[in-house]
Structure 1
């Protein structure tokens, strides 16, 4: 009876059903759920890794500030010595070490991945239950490690955090160079020369205003020698970068020093804010931190800034391949089957970022006791920021010099061709 009914059905229904199935299949293939939930998706994976990194940072902070009340069970562990060696600054180092192990393992297992068909692409973008179990295991294992080894890791973390700052600096300068190259190109400069000029002037004036405000806030009297040194050196570096760009001002040469000026002003402000709040020259900062809500907001912003900086640097897998020059060099177009970013470099940056956030939480001193809701406070943190500022300026000045040399060589070659012709 069923077969008879099916035979009596018109052919148009069959073709209609077939067409409906095709439309449904096409919808499933193009749907967001299929792209983001089914199969490996490197674009989504990087956000999940960033979320894992954020949770790890919050876990380290909670152990540092509130671990004594919540983790009384650690007293049973022999290596914790009554929980003294597993909480506070050393607790941060243990969490950081576990995070470093997780991302370093991911680095070793994904480095060199170039094609989407590679099995390591699936490992990077999928297998989340397995990786969550690994992450939990790496969070627990460091609490069974002797304190002497953890202190050794704390010393090594200084170099890892320095490497992270260096990679981040190269990434920032690479972006500024890329933007400056685009503004210098014939394609964009002729159409947007006034916008480029306005942006250059705005960034330069914003840097001057920032330096002026730091003089007002952090130099209440002439006895604040360090603050005067830091702010004045920032002003001098800004002028040196601007003077170095004068020969190339024909094509928006002031844009790069303007953008870098904002960056070094931010580094100088961060350095002064990292000074111990007991200093008389930081009365303005001390008054600000007296408000609990402002302290909490500043802390949350600082933690999010760590995660964002690590994430943005990690996806810039080509920053180590960029030569420190202002000359725009075209690269070959990437094929569709290549990975969107370097997986190994991505995980390596997160591994170094694990050491970096540990240094911020302990003030670059593994034996330092940090007040609650504070981050990156101490004279070591201050000098790290200042040295980073000076290195950034030297690198940018070297880039300006290299650009001028390349520009002179190109002009000489053009004149030589004219003479020959």
Structure 2
């Protein structure tokens, strides 16, 4: 089984440059958290921020949007200056991988300058950020579906099929077992009485989607594979769970402890796990350009010395740019006029419906890829 996992991960070495950009993104998230939770009094003393939509309690949320705006501009600049880079050793490749003192200075300036931008512009940016965050979620969704197909096809390849039969069986079985356990626990914890109709609907519809994806994948003309369906099913069950856990504390049907705004162990751990998840999701999505960027053409035998870039620099920075909008929405609960509790992330009814919509869209996209592969053979993943 270990051999199969190593085989799946084999390929070109990732350039350390990716991790530096991820660290920059992480530091921006941390600064935004500090500004949101611990800088409200400082903002109130600054006359420039007195007109924060006319509501003093949203000052901290506006600070998050300003930092998000600076981070977005930074990665937008990187996108514009690196998009289309095809070979290692060129000027744009050097800019992407080097010039760090200049880029760190640019990042620092872009963390400061947005605080001198008029509130009206930040308000417009906040509305645009909702759309940009949605774009990020769609890109992430396609990336996850592509990864599930790629993993399944890698293990089904003729040279791997015999070695990977048992690991594939184990992964598939565990995926469905965890899905069923998750659904049962959600019924017990989040729908303890018949009056919890919304949660019952969320969980039951997730079960319907799971069954539909599995039955379609079992059709003899569909080559999706049960492991692929199991992985996508696990993903949508996770999204349903996450959506219900984002319900406000006033929601009585959710019987589990949730983020309280106090620095207790559960709240702190939940916050930092969520923060790491944001950075990891952005990094992993940006590193996977296969579903969106055409593969590099086969090198000309006469020009073997030309080395192609190992991943799409432009796409990588584009994902981090919309990811900057995404983290802002999580920090303000997708509501520009809402003040989040301390140590909280992605809480509120807006967050619930974003996640539920993302779940339904994920199931719809996966079902579409299976059906379209039969009807017109147009699936273009992996």
Please classify the TM superposition score into its range, dividing by the shorter chain length. 0.7 to 0.9
Partner of 1:356: 326
| Contact residue 263 and residue 343 of structure 2 kept, 8 A | no
Deviations 1:50-73 (A, max 9, x none): 00100100111111110125x36x
Is 1:47 the counterpart of 2:19 in the alignment?
A: yes
Deviations 1:379-399 (A, max 9, x none): 111111111111111111122
| Contact residue 215 and residue 231 of structure 1 kept, 8 A | yes
Cα distance 1:190–1:140, how it changes in 2: closer, same or farther (>3 A)? same
Secondary structure at 2:333 match in 1:
coil
| Contact residue 80 and residue 143 of structure 1 kept, 8 A | no
Measured in 2, the distance between the counterparts of 1:81 and 1:240 equals 51
Cα distance 1:61–1:359, how it changes in 2: closer, same or farther (>3 A)? same
Matching of residues 21-420 of structure 1 within 5 Å: 43-69=15-41, 71=42, 75-81=45-51, 84=56, 87-248=59-220, 253-286=225-258, 292-321=264-293, 332=298, 337-405=307-375
| Contact residue 317 and residue 342 of structure 1 kept, 8 A | yes
Deviations 1:271-318 (A, max 9, x none): 001111111011223499888111000000000000000001111122
- Per the TM alignment, residue 86 of structure 1 is displaced from its structure 2 partner at its CA by 8.3
Q: Aligned residues, how many? A: 359
Measured in 1, the distance between the counterparts of 2:137 and 2:307 equals 32
Rg comparison, structure with higher value: 1
TM-score w.r.t. structure 1 length?
0.79
Measured in 1, the distance between the counterparts of 2:262 and 2:78 equals 42
Measured in 2, the distance between the counterparts of 1:244 and 1:343 equals 36
Partner of 2:4: none
Measured in 1, the distance between the counterparts of 2:299 and 2:220 equals 29
| Contact residue 85 and residue 91 of structure 1 kept, 8 A | no
**Which consecutive residues of structure 2, in runs of 5 or more, have no partner in the other structure?**
1-12, 378-382
- Per the TM alignment, residue 214 of structure 1 is displaced from its structure 2 partner at its CA by 0.8
Partner of 1:325: none
TM-score w.r.t. structure 2 length?
0.87
**Which consecutive residues of structure 1, in runs of 5 or more, have no partner in the other structure?**
1-40, 323-328, 408-421
Segment drifting more, 231-240 vs 329-338: 329-338
Measured in 2, the distance between the counterparts of 1:65 and 1:357 equals 15
Partner of 1:9: none
- Per the TM alignment, residue 195 of structure 1 is displaced from its structure 2 partner at its CA by 3.0
Partner of 1:34: none
Measured in 2, the distance between the counterparts of 1:406 and 1:192 equals 30
Higher RCO by CA contacts (8 Å cutoff, separation 6 or greater): 2
- Per the TM alignment, residue 185 of structure 1 is displaced from its structure 2 partner at its CA by 2.7
Partner of 1:3: none
| Contact residue 184 and residue 251 of structure 1 kept, 8 A | no
Measured in 2, the distance between the counterparts of 1:173 and 1:300 equals 26
- Kindly indicate which of the two structures has a greater share of residues assigned to helix: 1
- Per the TM alignment, residue 201 of structure 1 is displaced from its structure 2 partner at its CA by 1.8
Segment drifting more, 243-252 vs 232-241: 243-252
